[in-house]
Chain A
């Protein structure tokens, strides 16, 4: 735990400047990824998972922009700001240039696997050709060497008869096979970190099983770290070591996977877990979360989940909770952003119940005064 993590993200904020206003897609998230672990980034669509993961590679496009925060990878600064002489924020000197990011980091150090394998592969080039070109450019191999390497990679990810299939086009591959090709591409430069953005969502369950197995095997072999972006709690339980739950641009809970499921500390995580039908037992009544996730352009005041939260009280409307350590799980911090925990000391117990909070559509205008009482991060036991 003491050693420097592979990737550290601190207070990352990514915003989109649109005509209708500023969309705070990612609003101050902090997490880290250590060597050889799979970190989950979970949430519903619109929670900011994908924007967060793309920010890590500085792949956010106009009108989006990373406006604050620090991203450190292996001691190098991928993104960092400092105050310039005129008081304006400017990029720090030690921040990697676009050129360096492109040639050294993307693909070589941090690779990405996207959700839709058809859109990630060019339909007019052969699968093998695309893989070869990628290896050729990123690893500086000759054409022939790269081809041998490409065929090896295809075999490695379980594509039968790789020499034949090297010459085929993406449309001749099934969805599962295409996803394997993307995994091969991501692994080809032996990166230390792979960002997998919903890689199995478009696949059938039996194929999903095959891919998850493959990832398990490859991770054992190469020791690669993963950031696994998903909305599927089943996949999270299956492969992740630690999990970050996102809601409306913020990380609301951060815990090792077992604690997340068995010692849930945030009402949103809890509600999410209760709302999914289970494959392993019959649930007669699903406890749906009321309402829908509001838009990030005008998030609710205080705790962003309070309009849908079954535990919400008056204080939740006023106080914006920053994630704090609320429990300790074998030396791992279990962090949650909910004022009902003692660590916040926000007077939750004495606060009155919120009338008609659940399901109500009215919303307070954005409050500038996010009360944030000073509470020490280290102490505080989980309220059981």
Chain B
């Protein structure tokens, strides 16, 4: 049982005083079964015996993530929707059971904890959700909402809880007199402050903030961000700050991890990551944010295509299917622009971005009329034969589709799959140019 201390911190000693990381993830992996239910994934195939097979597809939401979070820091976790950042946040809190890997909090392996011990540890780890509307029970009063976690963890007595709730309301920038109001009486920004107060009520050391400001207006965003920073200092909090907005991440983080399709592709201190990005995906992300400055007319680095399905992610580097800098396969002898042209052609065929046209036009359009030499050239030629309109004059639509996919397979097998990017999963540690922290980049360009 804890004792009330004079300050807002319930227990001055609860702070983590070690030099070690507050939180360590080691190869954390989370797969989801795509279907649930008794008959899910069952397939009926009359041609074989037994005629029923079970084929469960798994969504590889988070795959082998290793990182550390130091006490008192803010680690920004950024990525596009569907990259697994929220899943990672929930897995850390063990709201989701990790499929594989270990999570150490204050040196203790969370996977070994269960029941009462896990519940107690949870008072040290809290979460703030994106939607300030749906994360508050509309039928409860603000005071009850903030006191609920304390009651769940059996902290303080009724009076103590009320006093603390009022104190917290003031700390997060709300009027303590609003203790008896319902959430609907508050604006979005104020509701997010109530969420903050609730998370802080049990005096946690670590807070996972899942897109806490993305639902708020810009001017309100700044207020909430400032409050979060103030509270971090006052309470000695450690944040895992999940967001898709790089500007917000740049403002609030100490270190930043960039996530793509379940993997961390780059991890570095904030200045280093924004000023000296080393992964092509990070670069593309940074280039595509619109800068609020009309004189900044840098070319928009636009990524081709879309994020592949996490059910069947690309081998090796997961970004390779969209990467503008995929490494040329060593098996061929490339000259000048040949690899760049072949790569562009390969992706155009795969995505079918052009209409069937005569072979000669394909050659001019993609290769300036000059096919690559040697083996590479003959493979390209073979692919062109399959799709050129003058070679396949009278085939119907189904056959045409088949030809295109044959050409796609041929090109992918001969080129994309041969590249080191497809064969090995990259992970490299680099020298940081800004600051002295470590800089991890998962890209073979740094081999």
B339 to chain A, nearest CB (A): 22
Q: Which residues of A contact B113 (CB under 8 A)?
A: none
B422 to chain A, nearest CB (A): 22
Chain B residue with the shortest CB-CB distance to A259:
B294
Which residues from 295 to 339 on chain A have a C-beta closer than 8 Å to any C-beta of chain B? Answer: none
Q: Which residues of A contact B189 (CB under 8 A)?
A: 292
Alpha-carbon distance between A273 and B223 when the two chains are bound, in angstroms: 14
B270 at the interface (CB under 8 A from A): yes
Q: Which of B247, B252, B352 contacts A161 (CB 8 A)?
A: B352
Which residues from 160 to 210 on chain A have a C-beta closer than 8 Å to any C-beta of chain B? Answer: 160-161, 163-164, 174, 176-177, 204-210
- Over the window 243-258 of chain B, the binary record of Cβ atoms lying under 8 Å from chain A Cβ atoms (1 yes, 0 no) is 0111110111000000
Q: Which residues of B contact A234 (CB under 8 A)?
A: 247, 289-292
A275 touches B292 (CB 8 A): no
Q: Which of B190, B286, B300, B352 contacts A279 (CB 8 A)?
A: B286
Q: Which of A44, A45, A213, A279 contacts B250 (CB 8 A)?
A: A279
B300 touches A283 (CB 8 A): no
A277 touches B250 (CB 8 A): yes
B251 touches A258 (CB 8 A): no
A237 at the interface (CB under 8 A from B): yes
A210 touches B303 (CB 8 A): yes
A271 touches B288 (CB 8 A): no
Stretch at the interface among B115-123, B214-222, B330-338: B214-222
Task: Report if A275-B218 is in contact (Cβ < 8 Å); known contacts: A237-B294, A258-B295.
Answer: yes
B247 touches A277 (CB 8 A): yes
Interface size on B, residues (CB 8 A): 49
Q: Which residues of B contact A160 (CB under 8 A)?
A: 351-353
A277 touches B290 (CB 8 A): no
A45 touches B217 (CB 8 A): yes
Which residues from 226 to 242 on chain B have a C-beta closer than 8 Å to any C-beta of chain A? Answer: 226
Q: Which residues of B contact A285 (CB under 8 A)?
A: 226
B359 at the interface (CB under 8 A from A): no
Q: Which residues of B contact A260 (CB under 8 A)?
A: 294
In terms of DSSP, what is the predominant structure of the interface of chain B?
helix
B306 touches A176 (CB 8 A): yes
B271 at the interface (CB under 8 A from A): yes
Residue among A272, A277, A279, A287 with most chain B CB within 10 A: A279
B396 at the interface (CB under 8 A from A): no
Q: Which of B81, B251, B284, B291 contacts A286 (CB 8 A)?
A: B251
B226 touches A233 (CB 8 A): no
Alpha-carbon distance between A161 and B354 when the two chains are bound, in angstroms: 8
A204 touches B352 (CB 8 A): no
Chain A residue with the shortest CB-CB distance to B400:
A163
B368 at the interface (CB under 8 A from A): no
Q: Which of B246, B306, B353 contacts A205 (CB 8 A)?
A: B246
Chain B residue with the shortest CB-CB distance to A240:
B294
A289 touches B292 (CB 8 A): no
A205 touches B289 (CB 8 A): yes
Residue among A158, A177, A233 with most chain B CB within 10 A: A233
Alpha-carbon distance between A210 and B302 when the two chains are bound, in angstroms: 6
Q: Which residues of B contact A273 (CB under 8 A)?
A: 292
Residue among A158, A174, A234, A285 with most chain B CB within 10 A: A234
B250 touches A209 (CB 8 A): no
A105 at the interface (CB under 8 A from B): no
A232 to chain B, nearest CB (A): 7
B251 touches A282 (CB 8 A): yes
B351 touches A161 (CB 8 A): yes
Chain A residue with the shortest CB-CB distance to B305:
A160
A279 touches B291 (CB 8 A): yes
B195 to chain A, nearest CB (A): 17
Chain A residue with the shortest CB-CB distance to B79:
A204
- Over the window 61-73 of chain A, the binary record of Cβ atoms lying under 8 Å from chain B Cβ atoms (1 yes, 0 no) is 0000000000000
Q: Which residues of A contact B351 (CB under 8 A)?
A: 160-161
Q: Which residues of B contact A238 (CB under 8 A)?
A: 290-291, 294, 300
Q: Which residues of A contact B81 (CB under 8 A)?
A: 204
B55 at the interface (CB under 8 A from A): no
Residue among B219, B250, B271, B293 with most chain A CB within 10 A: B219
Chain B residue with the shortest CB-CB distance to A289:
B219
Q: Which residues of B contact A44 (CB under 8 A)?
A: 217-220
B187 at the interface (CB under 8 A from A): yes
B192 to chain A, nearest CB (A): 12
Chain B residue with the shortest CB-CB distance to A361:
B175
Chain B residue with the shortest CB-CB distance to A158:
B353
Task: Report if A288-B226 is in contact (Cβ < 8 Å); known contacts: A205-B80, A282-B274.
Answer: yes
Q: Which residues of B contact A287 (CB under 8 A)?
A: 222
Alpha-carbon distance between A204 and B223 when the two chains are bound, in angstroms: 24
A282 touches B293 (CB 8 A): no
Task: Report if A237-B219 is in contact (Cβ < 8 Å); known contacts: A206-B302, A276-B247.
Answer: no
Which residues from 290 to 345 on chain B have a C-beta closer than 8 Å to any C-beta of chain A? Answer: 290-296, 300-303, 306
A257 at the interface (CB under 8 A from B): yes
Chain B residue with the shortest CB-CB distance to A282:
B250
B225 at the interface (CB under 8 A from A): yes
A205 touches B296 (CB 8 A): no
Alpha-carbon distance between A279 and B271 when the two chains are bound, in angstroms: 11
Sampled A-B contacts (23; CB under 8 Å): A174-B306, A177-B306, A204-B80, A205-B80, A206-B80, A209-B290, A209-B300, A212-B300, A234-B289, A257-B294, A261-B295, A275-B219, A275-B221, A276-B218, A276-B222, A276-B247, A279-B246, A279-B250, A279-B286, A286-B251, A287-B222, A288-B220, A293-B217
Known: A279-B250, A279-B291, A283-B251. 11 other contacts (CB 8 A): A161-B352, A177-B306, A205-B80, A205-B285, A234-B292, A260-B294, A278-B247, A279-B246, A279-B289, A282-B274, A292-B189
Interface residues of A (CB under 8 A from B): 44-45, 155, 158, 160-161, 163-164, 174, 176-177, 204-210, 212-213, 231-238, 257-258, 260-262, 271-273, 275-280, 282-283, 285-290, 292-293
Shortest beta-carbon contacts, A-B, top 10: A234-B290, A209-B288, A277-B251, A288-B222, A289-B219, A275-B222, A161-B352, A233-B292, A288-B223, A204-B80
